[in-house]
């Protein structure tokens, strides 16, 4: 039996999945929480790259050594939009990523406020640029920390850096998927002229590759995996999630809920969408597009709710239960029948890209809605309702969608969320436990040989 290895460098955890080349199924997977945040506020979100890479090695080495020796190709994906800078010395296989690599400025970063974003040039693609997008971040650094920025030679997403390091590639290669998530990318190329006119450091932009092509080969043996194996140009975790769930099935939509939440379906040809649209068109595979309602609010909202409960308990001088124990109690109660309630939760705690000024709210609270479990259920219903407000059932059925496939850790472990999907969309719903971005990356790698 031979394998393809999929690696997903996610926002809060990394995952490594071994996929049987003959059947396309996951044989074994390992997930490790990164705990990589160095700053995490409403205006700054940064993660330590060395900590992320150490978590990748921990996940990969937890796979059986005999199976690692039979890996034939590697697919890599990760959190989109974010930006990390580095120097050539960082891609040495023995690099410790201390002085030659910056922190990863993640997609959650909020340093580019509305005034700053309005000062940036428009995109010929017609897309909006948001804070946390790589090009917006580089614009901010160029204007606010120019001398510091000039001390670095390369830039990309954290998964682009990982591929460059693994293959020891001098000039990083970025897939169209991650390039679109950075902004100022249209018709399979950077909008170089527009960027130059605005003083953007275009020399930092990576070279480009079509999704599913190989960026290079492993330069040395790593974690028991032999040198010379082909490695894909890093892909978007969103597209790999979708591919794992529905591959090229144009009659299925995929709901993925992890830190954030997405509802996606495949479209062969998609025209330009209006700036005010809550959905976007992203490069997929085989020159198709995936239509995405990408919400900034998902498992992160539930995590904030749990943290609030713990803070309340601690403020009363009591010992707060752990986050895991609280989530487990919710999961245990969630397996019971759903309770009807009148409370309505708008869960936009982190705003949304198409309406950044609208934040969370709670309305229609009755006397029977005050239990913790009732509030939790209302938040879960609100999260799915928020997605439905971005892409309605009518829109899905008009696009030929006949069923919904669920994936992502937060959805997989939460029966209340699963019921909310069925109630909100009224379409046949199936949960695919093994569907995740690492699985999708491995499948793409296997199919690219």
Rounded Cα distance between 376 and 380, Å, is 6
Reading the chain (449 residues) residue by residue, the pLDDT tens digits are: 899 999 999 999 999 999 999 999 999 999 999 999 999 998 999 999 999 999 999 999 999 999 999 999 999 999 999 999 999 988 876 766 667 999 999 999 999 999 999 999 999 877 889 999 999 999 999 999 999 999 999 999 999 999 999 999 999 999 999 999 999 999 899 999 999 999 999 999 999 999 999 999 999 999 999 999 999 999 999 999 999 999 999 999 999 898 889 999 998 766 556 556 788 889 999 989 999 998 999 999 999 999 999 999 999 999 999 999 999 888 787 666 555 678 999 999 999 988 888 899 999 999 988 888 899 999 999 999 999 999 999 999 999 999 999 987 788 889 999 999 999 999 999 998 778 999 999 999 998 85
| pLDDT value of residue 434 | 75
Nearest to 160 by CA among 139, 175, 149, 138: 175
| pLDDT value of residue 99 | 72
Rounded Cα distance between 255 and 241, Å, is 9
Q: pTM (2 decimals)?
A: 0.86
Q: 333: helix, coil or strand? A: helix
| pLDDT value of residue 272 | 57
Instruction: Output the six-digit token pair for 331.
Output: 């999961």
DSSP line for 192-224: HHHHHHTT--GGGPPEEE-TT-EEEE--S-BTT
Cβ atoms of 263 and 383 within 8 Å: the answer is: no
Which residues are paired to 252 by β-bridges?
A: 403
Cβ atoms of 136 and 197 within 8 Å: the answer is: no
Rounded Cα distance between 60 and 14, Å, is 10
| pLDDT value of residue 335 | 63
Cβ atoms of 255 and 298 within 8 Å: the answer is: no
Q: What is the number of other CB atoms lying within 10 angstroms of the CB of residue 64?
A: 12
Rounded Cα distance between 205 and 342, Å, is 51
| pLDDT value of residue 96 | 65
**Tokens 């093994």, residue?**
434
Angle, CA of 45, 122 and 359, to the nearest 5°: 45
Cβ atoms of 390 and 293 within 8 Å: the answer is: yes
Angle, CA of 294, 237 and 275, to the nearest 5°: 30
| pLDDT value of residue 182 | 98
Say which DSSP state 254 is in: E
Length, in residues, of the chain: 449
Burial of 258 (0-12, 13-18, 19+ CB in 10 A): buried
Which residues are paired to 255 by β-bridges?
A: 263, 406
Rounded Cα distance between 78 and 34, Å, is 13
Q: Which domains does the chain have, with CATH numbers?
A: 3-233 (3.30.420.40), 247-435 (3.30.420.40)
| pLDDT value of residue 194 | 96
Write phi, then psi, for 243 (nearest 5 degrees). Answer: -65, -40
**Tokens 């003083």, residue?**
199
| pLDDT value of residue 276 | 60
- Counting DSSP H helices and E strands in the chain, the numbers are 16, 24
Q: 38: helix, coil or strand? A: strand
- Please state, in angstroms and as integers, the Cα–Cα distance from residue 332 to each residue in 1, 280, 329, 414, following that order: 38, 36, 5, 9
């Amino acid at each position: 039996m031979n394998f393809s290895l999929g690696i997903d460098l996610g926002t809060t955890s990394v995952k490594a999945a071994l996929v049987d080349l003959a059947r396309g199924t996951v044989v074994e997977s390992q997930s490790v929480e990164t705990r990589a945040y160095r700053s995490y506020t409403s205006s700054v979100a940064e993660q330590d790259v060395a900590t992320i890479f150490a978590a990748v090695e921990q996940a990969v080495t937890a796979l059986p050594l005999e199976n690692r020796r039979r890996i034939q190709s590697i697919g890599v994906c990760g959190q989109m939009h974010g930006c990390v800078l580095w120097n050539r010395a960082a891609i040495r296989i023995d690099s410790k990523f201390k002085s030659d690599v910056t922190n990863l400025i993640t997609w959650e970063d909020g340093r580019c406020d509305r005034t700053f974003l309005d000062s940036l040039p428009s995109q010929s693609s017609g897309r909006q640029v948001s804070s946390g997008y790589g090009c917006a971040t580089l614009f901010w650094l160029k204007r606010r920390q120019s001398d510091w920025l000039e001390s670095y030679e390369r830039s990309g997403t954290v998964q682009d850096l990982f591929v460059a390091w693994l293959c020891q590639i001098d000039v990083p290669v970025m897939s169209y998927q991650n390039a679109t998530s950075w902004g100022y990318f249209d018709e399979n190329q950077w909008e170089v002229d527009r960027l130059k006119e605005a003083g953007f450091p275009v020399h930092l932009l990576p070279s480009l590759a079509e999704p599913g092509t190989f960026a290079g080969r492993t330069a040395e043996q790593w974690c028991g995996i032999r040198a010379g194996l082909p490695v894909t140009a890093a892909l978007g975790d969103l597209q790999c999630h979708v591919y794992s769930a529905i591959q090229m099935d144009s009659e299925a939509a995929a709901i993925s809920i992890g830190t954030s939440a997405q509802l996606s379906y495949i479209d062969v040809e998609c025209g330009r969408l209006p700036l005010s649209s809550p959905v976007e068109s992203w490069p997929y595979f085989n020159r198709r597009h995936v239509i995405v309602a990408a919400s900034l609010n998902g498992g992160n909202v539930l995590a904030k709710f749990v943290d609030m409960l713990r803070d309340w308990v601690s403020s009363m001088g009591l010992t707060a239960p752990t986050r895991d124990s609280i989530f487990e109690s919710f999961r245990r109660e969630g397996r019971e029948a759903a309770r009807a309630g009148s409370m309505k939760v708008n869960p936009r705690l982190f705003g949304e890209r198409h309406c950044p000024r609208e934040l969370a709210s709670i309305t229609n609270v009755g006397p029977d809605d005050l239990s913790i479990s009732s509030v939790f259920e209302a938040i879960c219903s609100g999260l799915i309702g928020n997605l439905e407000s971005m892409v309605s059932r009518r829109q899905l059925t008009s696009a030929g969608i006949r069923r919904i496939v669920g994936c992502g850790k937060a959805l997989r472990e939460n029966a209340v969320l699963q019921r909310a999907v069925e109630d909100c969309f009224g379409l046949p719903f199936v949960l695919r436990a093994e569907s995740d971005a690492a699985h999708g990356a491995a499948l793409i790698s296997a199919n690219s040989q």
